[in-house]
Amino acid sequence: MEIGKKFSSFEDVQRWIDDYQRQNYVQLYVSDSRTIAAAQKRLPKRQLKADLKYYQMTYASVHGGRKYKSASSGSRPHQQ
């Protein structure tokens, strides 16, 4: 697997991800993505292929990915 790998179509991405999951016995999910429409708003001068679905996608393993950090302090006020 290479970071920054580029594909010509969304079907190629799906095919590659399915093969990777089968060969390595992992499950991946889309943890972050940006659609072509959203990218066009942020990058108005850049010409993007309209037939693509996503401009950017980040996949992560269901067992890995980023560590969850709770915003809770752990205390429960006003408990009697």
Residues 1, 24: Cα–Cα separation, whole Å: 11
Q: Phi, psi at residue 61, to the nearest 5°?
A: -75, 150
Report how many domains make up the chain.
Answer: 1
For residue 7, which of 42, 41, 47, 57 has the smallest C-alpha distance?
Answer: 57
Residue 76 domain flag? no
Question: Over the stretch 16-28, which tens digit does the pLDDT of each residue have?
Answer: 989 999 999 988 8
Residue 27 domain flag? yes
Residue 71 domain flag? no
One-letter amino acid of 6: K
The boundaries of the domain holding residue 47 are: 10-61
Evaluate if pTM is beyond 0.75.
Answer: no
Helix or strand run (H / E) with residue 57: strand 54-61
Residue 2 domain flag? no
Mean pLDDT of 57-71: 76
